[in-house]
């Protein structure tokens, strides 16, 4: 098949308190052409987690081998465990024509951009920091110090957002999902992605 039928890699990041996971759910429900990438980790599965659905659970030795052999699109270590995106599953979907969504941190997103310059990086932000704070407090599970720490981390992440391709404000889930949908739709219409169609047209033309 032509490049134009290949899927696109879509990376979504955003600080906590932006409603990112709701937007991800909306995106996946919204499109039957979009697949959500499954991360790999070396941490132990929790009781409700399923291999290959929530995570690919790997031994640390195997995870390190994949890093060294360039089989991880991005990775990070956190709390003594590795987390990352195995590229074989992603590439299989892209080849089948699916767009693949990676919901990952800023560090990982910039690694992906380095390895795959055609990846589309979208950063989701709250309408205001006040709103982000209200969402964090609304969860009710975090004390004041934790909320303030999260907001400070959020500010640090927002400072990196300028390295992304697109910034989407999460005013409402519907609008954010439509915004990201427009970004993906436009990406499939780039002159590069459409080169195949142009060639087909020219092949029809008499010299």
Q: Which span (39-47, 61-69, 98-106, 184-192) binds a second copy, by CB under 8 A? A: 184-192
Q: Is 25 near a second copy (CB under 8 A)?
A: no
Cα–Cα distance measured from residue 179 to residue 57, given in angstroms and rounded to the nearest whole number: 33
Choose which of 71, 105, 142, 165 interacts with a second copy (CB under 8 A): 165
Which tokens sit at 117?
Answer: 């310059």
Q: Is 33 near a second copy (CB under 8 A)?
A: no
Q: Is 194 near a second copy (CB under 8 A)?
A: yes
Please identify, using beta-carbon distances, which residue of 115 and 163 lies nearer to a second copy: 163
Q: Give the nearest distance from C-beta 35 to a second copy in angstroms.
A: 20
How big is the site for a second copy, counted in residues (CB under 8 A)? 42
Q: Is 167 near a second copy (CB under 8 A)?
A: yes
Residues 6+ apart with CB under 8 A from 96: 7
Q: Is 159 near a second copy (CB under 8 A)?
A: yes
Cα–Cα distance measured from residue 156 to residue 163, given in angstroms and rounded to the nearest whole number: 13
Q: Give the nearest distance from C-beta 78 to a second copy in angstroms.
A: 24
Which tokens sit at 95?
Answer: 């080849």
Please identify, using beta-carbon distances, which residue of 22 and 190 lies nearer to a second copy: 190
Which tokens sit at 14?
Answer: 């955003």
CB atoms within 10 A of CB 108: 22
Q: Give the nearest distance from C-beta 162 to a second copy in angstroms.
A: 6
Beta strands 9-13; 120-125: pairing state: parallel
Beta strands 40-41; 81-86: pairing state: antiparallel
Q: Give the nearest distance from C-beta 163 to a second copy in angstroms.
A: 8
Residues 6+ apart with CB under 8 A from 13: 20, 103, 104, 105, 106, 109, 121, 122, 123, 124, 157, 164
The torsion angles phi and psi of 38, rounded to 5 degrees, stand at: -100, 125
Please identify, using beta-carbon distances, which residue of 28 and 169 lies nearer to a second copy: 169
Cα–Cα distance measured from residue 85 to residue 35, given in angstroms and rounded to the nearest whole number: 14
Cα–Cα distance measured from residue 158 to residue 125, given in angstroms and rounded to the nearest whole number: 8
Per-residue contact flags (x/-) with a second copy for residues 109 to 128, judged by CB under 8 A: --------------x-xx-x
> Could you list the residues that contact a second copy (CB under 8 A)?
123, 125-126, 128-130, 151-152, 154-155, 158-159, 161-169, 178-179, 181-183, 185-187, 189-191, 194-195, 197-198, 200-202, 204-206
């Amino acid at each position: 098949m032509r490049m134009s039928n290949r899927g696109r890699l879509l990376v979504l990041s955003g600080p906590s308190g932006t409603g990112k996971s709701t937007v991800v759910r909306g995106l996946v429900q919204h499109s039957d052409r979009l697949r959500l990438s499954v991360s790999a980790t070396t941490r132990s599965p929790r009781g409700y987690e399923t291999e290959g659905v929530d995570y690919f659970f790997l031994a640390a030795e195997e995870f390190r081998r994949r890093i060294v052999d360039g089989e991880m699109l991005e990775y990070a270590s956190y709390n003594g465990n590795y987390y990352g995106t195995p590229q074989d599953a992603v590439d299989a979907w892209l080849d089948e024509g699916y767009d693949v969504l990676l919901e990952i941190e800023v560090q990982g997103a910039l690694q992906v951009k380095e390895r795959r310059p055609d990846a589309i990086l979208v950063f989701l932000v709250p309408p205001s920091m006040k709103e982000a704070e209200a969402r964090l407090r609304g969860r009710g599970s975090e004390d004041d110090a934790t909320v303030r720490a999260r907001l400070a981390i959020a500010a640090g992440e927002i400072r990196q957002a300028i390295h992304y391709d697109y910034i989407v404000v999460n005013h409402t889930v519907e609008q954010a999902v439509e915004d990201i949908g427009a970004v993906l739709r436009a990406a499939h219409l780039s002159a590069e992605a459409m080169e195949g169609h142009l060639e087909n047209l020219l092949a029809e033309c008499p010299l």
